[in-house]
Amino acid sequence: MGQLSGKVAIVTGASQGLGRGISIAFGEAGASVVCAARNLDKLNETSSAVEEAGGRACAVECDVRELSDIETCVAKAVEAFGGIDIVVNNAQTIQYVYMNDATDQTMLDALHSGPLASYRFMKASFPHLKARGGGVIVNTGSPAQHLPVTARYACYNAAKCGIEGLTRAASDEWKGQGVYTFMVYPTAETAMTLGMKARDPERYAREVAHFPKGRMGDPLEDIGRPMVRLILRAPEFTGKTISMNSRGVGEITEVIADVPFDLS
């Protein structure tokens, strides 16, 4: 029996990179995985890999910027596997442009695919998580928020900061009902990092040199498999932000204050 046997997970952005690695890791752990993304051909490849790893899978074509696609994805998860236990909000459109070159649409794409999509998936999934006695939502952030130089990251980082705030609020509101929410900062070899390598190989080499193994994290080995272990201990990490890279699970960002402001 795998660690996630009997569990049903939705993973967005599952056609490649982090989403693919996470989906396969869940399959290894015995989960049924709803692989969601825009590229159905690649999704079918991920679904096959999940099944080869020992899980069950179905591919759902989904543009997370569209509410109807999100609602369809949640409905298909329930129809195919009987419920939902885990949601990983990983999909995010990315445009690296200077603020003066960005348009309102650039920012809207980042916000619609990031915090708005996460918010919608969380709300649509919540009744199903609760009906199963509780569940886990993992939102994907980015260490790019804390780079020494964040030029060209304005829209992307705005989206990721929004997701982080959403994650903490949801944890405070839902943990009493058994639904735990935490955020991860994964740094792995993905289309995004390969793009950086192509654009600026010298910078890429400098960045990679700082990692414990002298390389970016592997989506399956360093992100997906450790995420399974985090999910199994979700009550300990709810509301937290956790760094993940080629070292595996790293430091945890605690809440800013023990006592929140009275907003009543």
**Residue in this structure with the two tokens 């023990």, named with its chain if needed:** 258
- Please list the ranges in the chain whose pLDDT falls under 70: 1, 190-196, 210-213, 246-264
Choose, from 96, 119, 153, 156, the residue flagged as catalytic. Answer: 156
Q: Is 59 helix (H, G, I), strand (E, B) or coil?
A: strand
pLDDT at 201 (0 to 100): 80
**Residue in this structure with the two tokens 């960005």, named with its chain if needed:** 102
pLDDT at 155 (0 to 100): 96
pLDDT at 64 (0 to 100): 98
Q: Are strands 241-245 and 248-253 parallel, antiparallel or unpaired?
A: antiparallel
Domains of the chain: 8-190+218-248 (3.40.50.720)
pLDDT at 190 (0 to 100): 66
Identify whether 204 is a catalytic site residue.
Answer: no
pLDDT at 256 (0 to 100): 39
- Closest among 3, 180, 136, 8 to 84, alpha carbons compared: 8
HSE (side-chain half, CA atoms, 13 Å) at 80:
21
Residue 163: exposed, middle, or buried by beta-carbon count in 10 A (0-12, 13-18, 19+)? buried
pLDDT at 260 (0 to 100): 42
In this prediction the pTM is: 0.89
pLDDT at 39 (0 to 100): 95
